[in-house]
Amino acid sequence: MYDETQDDSPELAGSLLLAHPHLKDPNFASSVVLMTRHEESGSLGVVLNHSTGERLGQLSSEFNECGLGNVPVYVGGPVSPNQIILAAWKLIPDLGQFQLFFGMEPLAAQSKMKEDPDLVFRAFKGYSGWSEGQLLSELESNAWVVAEVDAESISSKDGADLWRHLIMEVNPELGLLSMVPEDPDAN
């Protein structure tokens, strides 16, 4: 959960936002959001675990031609859903760092793919955005749980499994709430 004693400024950039199990907004329920920018003027991130089931090559033959046709596509958020954002990341174990390339042009992504086979590539339709003060307000109302990036998990797990895994790691009590079915009567 959000700790008001935390420095509430750019520290959120490079972290994960995990939707609280009670967050029912259809855009963000059970979401894991990678925060790429957090400034006084607003915040930006992409939802990592809402796959469209598509590959870039299905969206445009241009992506097949530059070698990006098999990159999986995710719903990055409700803002600008027709915009495609390319990203790649990897864990640098020796340094304990997470390296992120965000908002790459297709040719730059193609070059990175050839240079470094350890990079995990994803494409996002749209992004998640918050206006000035909006995200901090949501954090104060406990709509989100802030977590460090777990590069191994975000590369190997998907969907609600990723969200449950990360929630359980951060707060086991919330992890138990994440397992409650949406409609307990259907259980």
For residue 92, the model assigns a pLDDT of 82
CATH class of 10-186: alpha beta
For 9-42, write each residue's pLDDT tens digit: 448 998 999 999 999 899 999 999 999 999 999 9
Instruction: Tell me the pLDDT of the chain averaged across its residues.
Output: 87
Q: In the chain, where does DSSP find H-type helix?
A: 56-59, 61-65, 106-115, 134-140, 151-156, 159-170, 172-177
pLDDT of 4 higher than 80: no
CB-based burial label for 170 (10 Å; 0-12, 13-18, 19+): middle
Q: Look up residue 186 and give its amino acid.
A: A
- For a pLDDT cut of 70, what percent of the chain falls above it? 88
**Residues 65-88 pLDDT 10s:** 989 999 999 999 999 999 999 999
Point out the least confidently predicted range of 1-5, 126-130, 147-151: 1-5
pLDDT average, residue stretch 37-66: 95
For 90-112, the pLDDT digits (tens) are 888 787 778 899 999 999 999 99
User: Contact 123/56 with Cβ under 8 angstroms?
Assistant: yes
Inform me whether the pLDDT recorded for 177 exceeds 80.
no
- Sketch the domain layout of the chain as residue ranges: 10-186
Residue 95 has a pLDDT of 78
- Region of 142 (left: φ > 0; alpha: ψ -120 to 50; beta: rest) is left
3-state secondary structure (DSSP) of residue 11: helix
